[in-house]
Amino acid sequence: MSEETHERAKRLIVRERVEGLAYAEREWLDAHVGDCAACAELARTTGQAIRSLRGLSISLPPGLASRTQMRVRLRAQQLREYQPRWRMLWIACGVSWLFGAATAPYVWRGLEWFGHRAGLPDMVWEMGFGLWWALPAAVVGVVLLMTKAGESGNADWKRQHN
């Protein structure tokens, strides 16, 4: 028998234990195992190993499932508590940006008028317009940073400094 035949038999023995075989493959494997002592031994030891693994018992700490369920529920509750805050933040941002887009031409003209009246270079009042436009995004960034800092209140690096 060729080496390819034995390799095919090994693959089929393993596949038989995991996902099962088609009828034709099962017939070929039975015929081969009947003729080849080495492959028959492999099939026998593989079956024996799987039976011994099925009988293996792993003990888990008592209460592990209930503690895990409790932590999942607490996290879900925590996420539900933060959801309305985030919704309000996004609504406020949307309103702010819509208001900013609607008033942009007026703010531009007002800053231009003030800049020329005060004798400021064009770059100064134009930068003022850019800052006015970026203010909502900066406020959101600060809120997000503050929220993240509050969530990581139990971080290891903070405990080291105390």
Residue 112 lies in a domain: yes
Tens digits of per-residue pLDDT, 53-94? 888 888 878 888 889 999 999 988 887 776 766 777 778 878
Which tens digit of pLDDT belongs to each residue from 134-151?
A: 887 788 788 778 877 766
Query: Are 80 and 49 found together in one domain?
Result: no
Clarify whether residues 96 and 135 are in a common domain: yes
Residue 30: give the domain boundaries.
Answer: 3-54
Residue 31 has pLDDT above 60, yes or no: yes
Return the structure tokens found at 36: 């080849």
Residue 157 lies in a domain: no
- Mean pLDDT score of the chain: 83
pLDDT at 41 over 90: yes
Token pair listed for 117: 């009246």
DSSP 8-state class, residue 153: G
Task: Collect all residues with Cβ–Cβ distance below 8 Å to 26 and sequence separation of at least 6.
Answer: 16
99 assigned to some structural domain: yes
What is d(CA 114, CA 126) in angstroms, rounded to the nearest whole number? Answer: 11
As a whole number of angstroms, the distance between CA 74 and CA 142 comes to 27
Q: Is residue 117 domain-resident?
A: yes
What is the distance between the alpha carbons of residues 49 and 103, in angstroms, rounded to a whole number?
A: 76
**Do 95 and 30 share a structural domain?**
no
Residue 59 counted as domain residue: no
**Residue 2: which H helix or E strand, with range?**
none
Residue with tokens 């693959």: 11
User: How many domains are contained in the chain?
Assistant: 2
Q: Are residues 148 and 80 in the same domain?
A: yes
Asked if 84 and 134 sit in the same domain, the reply is yes
Rounded CA Rg of the chain: 35
Work out the end-to-end distance of the chain between its first and last CA atoms, rounded to an integer number of angstroms.
73
**62 within domain boundaries:** no
Do 88 and 29 lie in a common domain? no
Q: Does the pLDDT at position 155 exceed 60?
A: no
pLDDT at 139: 81
